[in-house]
């Protein structure tokens, strides 16, 4: 089995670990009442590889990423499509008036709707029909189109192309990034936000929301910055999210669970409860000093000769 990096297309990769597809199917059914068995049809094992050229870690096989129906089912949870997030505020400060902005994976279009009110020309791309329907009903300009298809007719068109919590869902990262760059004018900015696997989220790695069919890649600072070595972009800046109040419960749970304590024994229950309360205290009191879930990287498209 020859596996190639989805960024470099090189076979300079190493296998890190193997997961049971059956266990992931059970976990999704138990936690969210979502049946993913059809997406995993014919797949018994899921592999985590690391690209040695970039540090990017990815899941294999590539065809097991979630489809529109899968995300429509996740949409029923209020926490899934948050209308405004920390990274939206970061991007809003970067984007200037009268610029032309494309958001990839815009969900219901809450970010570009607010951005449009400041005089920015915005368009969103989304593949979840249920989310598109809600966004269009609110007057948001959204197309059911992939960035790969969209960029074919919109090369050198946008001042800013942004995606928030999207790249980690994408199996074909190479064409995703290349198409995003193709759609940018020279000097335009590419804004990408992803979960930061050097934050507390690294302890969340094998739980159901950080594995296929939800996530197909695991990003950190190295792998994101290294994109400038393989695409016509220059890295400008990182932004790191401090722990948000709405992530304190997740932070406390993840940090308590990292110790692999037997939560079913009397002592284990006591220790786990104590750790959860301790980390909840840390998160509430010192959240601004804790590296949060998300990081944002800003790139600039290189000028053509």
Q: What is the pLDDT of residues 216-247, one digit of tens each?
A: 999 999 999 999 999 999 999 999 999 999 89
Segment 160-208, tens digit of pLDDT: 999 999 999 999 999 999 999 999 999 999 999 999 999 998 887 767 7
* 9 exposure class (CB count in 10 Å sphere: 0-12, 13-18, 19+): exposed
Q: What is the pLDDT of residues 243-269, one digit of tens each?
A: 999 899 989 988 988 887 776 687 888
Beta carbons of 213 and 36 less than 8 angstroms apart: yes
Q: Using pLDDT thresholds of 50, 70 and 90, give the confidence band for residue 119.
A: confident
Quick one: how many helices (H) and strands (E) in the chain? 10, 11
pTM score of the predicted model = 0.93
Q: Residue 183 in contact with residue 161, Cβ under 8 Å?
A: yes
- 29 contacts 39 by C-beta, under 8 angstroms: no
**pLDDT for the residue 130:** 87
Q: Homologous superfamily of 72-203+223-234 in CATH?
A: Vaccinia Virus protein VP39 (3.40.50.150)
Tell me: the pLDDT tens digits for 19-43? 999 999 999 999 899 999 999 999 9
Question: What pLDDT is recorded for position 196?
Answer: 94
Amino acid 43: pLDDT = 96
């Amino acid at each position: 089995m020859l596996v190639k990096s989805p960024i470099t297309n090189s076979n300079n990769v190493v296998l890190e670990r193997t997961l049971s597809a059956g266990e992931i199917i059970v976990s999704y059914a138990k936690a969210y009442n979502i049946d993913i068995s059809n997406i995993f049809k014919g797949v018994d094992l899921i592999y985590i590889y690391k690209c040695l050229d970039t540090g990017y870690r990815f899941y294999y096989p590539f065809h097991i990423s979630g489809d529109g129906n899968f995300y429509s089912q996740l949409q029923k949870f209020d926490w899934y499509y948050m209308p405004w997030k920390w990274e939206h505020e970061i991007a809003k400060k970067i984007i200037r008036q009268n610029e032309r902005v494309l958001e990839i994976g815009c969900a219901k279009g809450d970010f570009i709707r607010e951005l449009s009110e400041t005089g920015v020309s915005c368009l969103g791309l989304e593949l979840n029909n249920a989310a598109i329907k809600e966004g269009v009903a609110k007057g948001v300009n959204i197309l059911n189109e992939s960035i790969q298809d969209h960029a074919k007719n919109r090369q050198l068109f946008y001042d800013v192309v942004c995606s928030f919590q999207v790249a980690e869902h994408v199996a074909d990262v190479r064409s995703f990034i290349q198409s995003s760059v193709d759609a940018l004018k020279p000097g335009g900015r590419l804004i990408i936000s992803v979960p930061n696997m050097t934050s507390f989220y690294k302890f969340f790695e094998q739980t159901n929301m950080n594995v296929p069919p939800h996530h197909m890649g695991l990003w950190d600072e190295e792998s994101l910055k290294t994109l400038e070595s393989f695409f016509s972009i220059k890295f400008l800046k990182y932004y790191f999210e401090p722990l948000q109040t709405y992530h304190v419960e997740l932070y406390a749970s993840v940090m308590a669970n990292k110790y692999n304590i037997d939560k079913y024994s009397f002592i284990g229950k006591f220790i786990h409860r104590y750790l959860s309360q301790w980390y909840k205290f840390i998160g509430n009191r010192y959240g601004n000093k804790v590296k949060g879930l998300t990081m944002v990287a800003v790139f600039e498209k290189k000028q053509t000769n």
